[in-house]
Amino acid sequence: MSTPNPLKRLTALGQSVWYDNIHRSMLESGELVRLVERDDLRGVTSNPTIFDKAISSGDQYDAVIADILRRQPGLDAAELFNHLAVADIRDAADVMRPVYEATDKRDGYVSIEVSPHLARNTEGTVAEARRLHAWIDRPNIMIKVPATVEGLPAVETLIGEGISVNVTLLFSVDRYKAVADAFITGLQERARRGLPVEGVASVASFFVSRVDSAVDPQLEGKREDWRGRVAIANAKLAYRHFLDLFDGPRFQELRRLGAQEQRLLWASTGTKNPEYSDVLYVDALIGPRTVNTVPPATYDAYLDHGDPAVRLPDGLDDAAALIRELPALGIDLEAVTDKLEADGVKAFADSFDNLLAGLGDKVRGMDPGGRATG
């Protein structure tokens, strides 16, 4: 008898597995199709770092770049990247379209992020989100918007316009509450205008492992038994708010109108500390009505030795008690999450700039016929 697929078992437990990776070869080789068929994969996420790795390494994009430049020779590096990214996202969305339809528009989404340089620019974020949404022209895409203070009104506006949004770079429970409020307010405004709320989807991407990477050193010599636990406790508190809000009175009317709840999506779930289980942030956060977007190494590890069981709803009071005790240890979790947000925005911006520089180098290394030289 074959061993049950742990990734498929997550789906059976009510958690959707998305893949935190995209590149042209996985589309051309049929790898993405195989992941859907074998593992019941339910979605795909991307970010500037993922595209930087995909486009800057190797030559898998060279032929596509050459073809685009033959047709539009005047493109700068930023717009050339948009053409490459839109093609990948569109093709991935087509692969995921049957999942989108089979799950009644709940899953099957592919996410693309606005430029990280717009993270502090509300109007610029809205404008680029609209442009990408129209350009890709697929119903099952989500535009990723950072959960910065400036990103919150952009989320509300885009949801109000019927554009599905993946709100990313979330680290704190308080900011998550503001994100969920922006989502509901956007839907309420849409309903007030007599527009349908059915099919307007959103996830709140709550980053996990980076919290432990930041807090663990501060626990040394104090509560070392809490190392590897603060990020999970933080995520559990976000989940408790999710349950209170979306099962509470405020969302009832929207649900009656056919609105989807904004699910929590666990991001940054690869284990960074080699002392911990390589599937820690998947196993610990399994719960119904959630998503986990899993990076490739963690995805393979979970397929090999994951241990699926619903654990997320357990110990919510203990999680709250742990978080409450942090100030007594001299740990300011709000300061930690503020820095993680700022560092995350910078890291994505740096990846984006590195990507554009690499694209520029590729273009300069091509002969007029679009072939690599040297």
Strand partners, 145: 167
Helix runs in the chain, H state only: 6-12, 24-28, 31-39, 48-56, 62-71, 77-102, 122-136, 151-160, 173-192, 209-219, 230-246, 249-256, 280-283, 296-305, 316-325, 333-364
Round the average pLDDT of the chain to a whole number and report it: 95
Task: Reply yes or no on whether the pLDDT at 368 is more than 60.
Answer: no
Distance CA 220, CA 218 (A): 6
The 10s digit of each residue's pLDDT in 115-125 is 999 999 999 99
Residue-level pLDDT at 361: 87
Q: Region 139-164: what's the mean pLDDT?
A: 98
Stretch (H or E) spanning 105: none
Q: Region 204-219: what's the mean pLDDT?
A: 98
Q: Which residues lie below 8 Å from residue 282, measured CB to CB, with a gap of 6+? A: 10, 266, 269, 292, 294, 298, 302, 306
Task: Reply yes or no on whether the pLDDT at 209 is more than 60.
Answer: yes
Task: Reply yes or no on whether the pLDDT at 286 is more than 60.
Answer: yes
Task: Specify the amino acid at residue 149.
Answer: V
Give the range among 66-70, 137-141, 147-151 with minimum mean pLDDT: 66-70
Residue with tokens 């409450």: 324
Q: Region 320-332: what's the mean pLDDT?
A: 98
Q: Region 76-82: what's the mean pLDDT?
A: 93
51 compared with 249, residue with greater pLDDT: 249
Residue-level pLDDT at 32: 98
Task: Reply yes or no on whether the pLDDT at 353 is more than 70.
Answer: yes
Give the range among 15-19, 129-133, 369-373 with minimum mean pLDDT: 369-373
Q: Region 238-267: what's the mean pLDDT?
A: 98
At 367, the pLDDT band (50, 70, 90 cuts) reads low
Task: Reply yes or no on whether the pLDDT at 1 is more than 80.
Answer: no
Phi/psi zone of residue 40: left (φ > 0), alpha (ψ -120 to 50 degrees), beta? Answer: left
3-state secondary structure of 365: coil
Residue-level pLDDT at 2: 56
Q: Region 199-208: what's the mean pLDDT?
A: 98
DSSP states of 270-334 as a string? S---TTS-TTHHHHTT--TTEEEEE-HHHHHHHHHH------TTTTHHHHHHHHHHTGGGT--HH
Distance CA 84, CA 97 (A): 20
Task: Reply yes or no on whether the pLDDT at 182 is more than 60.
Answer: yes
C-alpha closest to that of 187 among 254, 253, 247, 243: 254
Q: Region 19-48: what's the mean pLDDT?
A: 96
Per the CB < 8 A criterion, the answer to whether 262 and 183 are in contact is yes
| CA angle in degrees (0–180, nearest 5) for 107-240-155 | 50
Distance CA 234, CA 239 (A): 9
Distance CA 137, CA 116 (A): 22
Q: Which residues are catalytic?
A: 144
Distance CA 171, CA 347 (A): 15
Task: Reply yes or no on whether the pLDDT at 309 is more than 70.
Answer: yes
Task: Reply yes or no on whether the pLDDT at 374 is more than 50.
Answer: no
Residue-level pLDDT at 139: 98
Residue-level pLDDT at 302: 98
Domains of the chain in start order, with CATH, are 7-364 (3.20.20.70)
Question: What is the CB-side half-sphere exposure of residue 182 using CA atoms within 13 A?
Answer: 29
55 compared with 29, residue with greater pLDDT: 29
Task: Reply yes or no on whether the pLDDT at 253 is more than 70.
Answer: yes
Residue-level pLDDT at 100: 98
At 225, the pLDDT band (50, 70, 90 cuts) reads very high
Percentage of the chain modeled with pLDDT above 70: 97
Distance CA 103, CA 106 (A): 5
Per the CB < 8 A criterion, the answer to whether 294 and 20 are in contact is yes
At 57, the pLDDT band (50, 70, 90 cuts) reads confident
